[in-house]
Amino acid sequence: YSKDRGRNTYNFYTHQMDQDINRRLRVEEQLRNALKRKEFEVYFQPLVEIKSRKIIGAEALLRWKNALLGQVTPDEFIPIAEQTGLIIPIGQYVIDIAFNATKKWQQQFQSQFKIAINVSPKQFRENTFIDMLKMQLEKHQIHVSSVELEITEGVLLNGDPIINSNLTSINDIGVSISMDDFGTGYSSLSYLRSYPFDTLKVDKSFINDITVDPGDLELVGAAIAMGHGLNLKVVAEGIETEEQYHLLRSLKCDYGQGYLFSKPLPRAEFEELLQTQVKSADQ
């Protein structure tokens, strides 16, 4: 083979690989110090009741801004936090901040305010998870009925017995569990049958085209009907337009999230939004 081509291929390949590995190592290295450098911020996206269009709670979504890397998306850093185990302290930090805000909002604006928190597989498999959760509930004096943990199919995939026992404990404590990104996995239906879910969050990829794709509309309608048949609440993710909202309303979807209502917001901005809603209800 040609020496040139060989070298070019080789160079191209290593260059790509170097870039990927370098990026990953740099992210990992920076991630190790991110907590103590206070580089994380917890954002809140309104969870809206469809029929009243009122904010009834929020989903906590983590944001990371680093001096060297700039803003890094959760889709990039959460998997690295998972693989390195850093998700354990980071996950606890999210719960701590989110519960702190929730308590304040319950006292000032809305006693029934709900908070949804994403929990990734590694966190969920940790045998200290339940104790950590109880400790945080106690610390912030949060009632269990205000809390929902969002898990994806990935949490359930490997059938580890600790997962079953953690899910059972969470259910026994009275904290709700929701299946996030519903419809994107392979075994969502069998998991729904086997585990004590309270809520289905229909993935935004299904909501995206409901106004133009009759098949997607049919699927979302079926997911909502099935959820209700199983006594679950249904949340639609990624609602961006009035048309999507009205369709979901006619399908009797319970709750929604999406840019139509608001993007995820820093704590202070979310609080302003909530305050505005409470004030207008007073008038």
According to CB under 6 A, which one of 48, 50, 78, 236 is a site residue for ligand C2E? 78
According to CB under 5 A, which one of 148, 153, 181, 254 is a site residue for Mg ion? 181
Residues 6 or more apart whose Cβ sits within 8 Å of residue 128 = none
CA distance 138 to 173: 12
User: Which residue type occupies 23?
Assistant: R
Residue 240 touches ligand C2E, criterion: CB under 6 A = yes
Return the structure tokens found at 207.
Answer: 């909501």
Q: Which does 26 bind (CB under 5 to 8 A by kind): ligand C2E, Mg ion, none?
A: none
Task: Compare residues 3 and 212 and give the one whose CB is closer to ligand C2E.
Answer: 212
Please state the φ and ψ torsions of residue 40, each to the nearest 5 degrees.
-90, 150
CA distance 126 to 172: 18
Residue 148 touches ligand C2E, criterion: CB under 6 A = no
According to CB under 5 A, which one of 82, 126, 150, 254 is a site residue for Mg ion? 150
Residue 70 touches ligand C2E, criterion: CB under 6 A = no
DSSP state of 244: H
Residue 180 touches Mg ion, criterion: CB under 5 A = yes
According to CB under 6 A, which one of 48, 58, 62, 247 is a site residue for ligand C2E? 62
According to CB under 6 A, which one of 24, 26, 56, 74 is a site residue for ligand C2E? 74
Rg for the chain (alpha carbons), in Å? 21
Count residues binding ligand C2E (CB under 6 A): 25
DSSP code string of 168-195: HHHHHHT-EEEEEEETSSS-HHHHHHHS
Interacting span for ligand C2E (CB under 6 A) from 153-161, 190-198, 209-217, 234-242: 234-242
Residue 256 touches ligand C2E, criterion: CB under 6 A = no
DSSP code string of 119-181: --HHHHH-TTHHHHHHHHHHHHT--GGGEEEEE-HHHHTT--HHHHHHHHHHHHHT-EEEEEE
CA distance 57 to 148: 10
According to CB under 5 A, which one of 118, 146, 188, 257 is a site residue for Mg ion? 118
Count residues binding Mg ion (CB under 5 A): 4
Residue 238 touches ligand C2E, criterion: CB under 6 A = yes
Contact residues: ligand C2E, CB under 6 A: 45, 60-62, 73-75, 78, 91, 94, 118-120, 150, 180-181, 204, 237-240, 257-259, 264
Contact residues: Mg ion, CB under 5 A: 118, 150, 180-181
